[in-house]
Structure 1
């Protein structure tokens, strides 16, 4: 399996960013880490191994950028307004530095976003904010209401990064063309968030798959089962 470590200075974040990529061709997938996770997390927890045959066969190329949750949503040492602003700089970095690279390297005009747990939030938020750039969104045990990280603070920046708030009024036609999977499990602590988002999508007539796995928890074993199933749709 072809693996590459990339490090660069991000002008959007004013700091260095690390990323691992896996594969040589195929659909570009942005795979986000879980809460405060690092760029190597999805490799360490064998999520990459679970889809190795898709990578080796040239069907997908996976991009695992570093996260900055510890500087944004989970940073209790700064004002909530600054937590959101730091996330927005991260979002801009993903858009301008990672997505542009993935599109150029693979030749695809759209990317796929994916992630487990808090990575599922990142995958969904990016996909729903930029639906003209995302063909598929695979969330595994995601949570989609960010207000719990902000100590009661709320402004327009929070609204536009909180899918359960802005999605009901979203009108971009590409949302209806996106392939969306909300993966969760019977005993998943995030199951209610997935059911809530599914209801919002149903109300808008946006086709999606709410995949509730039996006899499973909010943990890596079920995500390693889900991810290859979802890539099989490609």
Structure 2
């Protein structure tokens, strides 16, 4: 499997940013980590191994990006306006720096955004913000109204980065047509009790992994409070175009 590590100084964020690329061809997927997660999260938690077959066959190429959540929405000591602006800078980095790299590496026009938990918010928000660039959104167990992070504060940077607000107010015909073209999958988990922290999914070549491993079309995510919560299998969802 092709694996590439990239790091550069981002002019959008004024700091170094890291990312990992898995695969050599196929539909491109912009992959977000969970809340305050890192760019190597999907690899560490077994998702890359679960997707090994489609990646190695050239059906899918993943671009696993880092987050700046601790500098934006999760930077609780900062003013909500500043946190929203930092998030705006993060999306500028993705749009103006990461997407051009993806275009340079892979000419396949199909683009997916994917994430779970707070990564689902990023996947949904970025995909809906740039509907002309994103063809499919895979967002699982996410929060899509960021106002709970702002304590009621709102400005343009909050509004235009909050799907529950900017989609409700969307009236541009071109953008509406692009949004209608998109395919979005957004699911919530139903927690169940389980003592297992691992699962095996025959549909994903029998991959075995903790936390984000697959089991018969579902994904098991272990939490300290509810045991294992089961989600629709993101591995299979990525391949259904």
TM-score (norm 2): 0.81
Largest Rg, 1 or 2: 2
SS in 2 for 1:132: coil
How far 1:165 moved relative to its partner? 1.1
How far 1:231 moved relative to its partner? 1.7
Gaps of 5+ in 1: 189-212
How far 1:83 moved relative to its partner? 0.2
1:54-96: CA deviation from partner (whole Å, max 9, x where unpaired): 1011001100111000000000121111000000000000001
User: How many aligned positions are there?
Assistant: 209
1:195-231: CA deviation from partner (whole Å, max 9, x where unpaired): xxxxxxxxxxxxxxxxxx99976868745x6111202
2:33 corresponds to: 33
* 2:237 corresponds to 1:230: yes
Deviation >3 Å, runs of 4+ = 213-223
SS in 2 for 1:123: helix
Distance 2:218 2:113 in 1: 24
RMSD: 2.2
* 2:183 corresponds to 1:183: no
Distance 2:71 2:220 in 1: 31
Distance 2:88 2:45 in 1: 27
Q: Residues 29 and 62 of structure 2 are in contact (CA less than 8 Å); yes or no, is this contact kept in structure 1?
A: yes
2:207 corresponds to: none
Distance 1:28 1:214 in 2: 22
Distance 2:230 2:27 in 1: 23
How far 1:168 moved relative to its partner? 1.9
Gaps of 5+ in 2: 193-216
Name the one with the larger helix percent.
1
1:92 corresponds to: 92
Q: Residues 187 and 218 of structure 1 are in contact (CA less than 8 Å); yes or no, is this contact kept in structure 2?
A: no
1:134 corresponds to: 134
1:121-156: CA deviation from partner (whole Å, max 9, x where unpaired): 000000100000001111111110111111221112
Distance 1:12 1:103 in 2: 19
Q: Residues 140 and 226 of structure 1 are in contact (CA less than 8 Å); yes or no, is this contact kept in structure 2?
A: no
Q: Residues 18 and 65 of structure 1 are in contact (CA less than 8 Å); yes or no, is this contact kept in structure 2?
A: yes
Distance 1:214 1:48 in 2: 16
Q: Residues 145 and 162 of structure 2 are in contact (CA less than 8 Å); yes or no, is this contact kept in structure 1?
A: yes
TM-score (norm 1): 0.83
Which stretch of the first structure deviates more once superposed, 106-115 or 137-146?
106-115
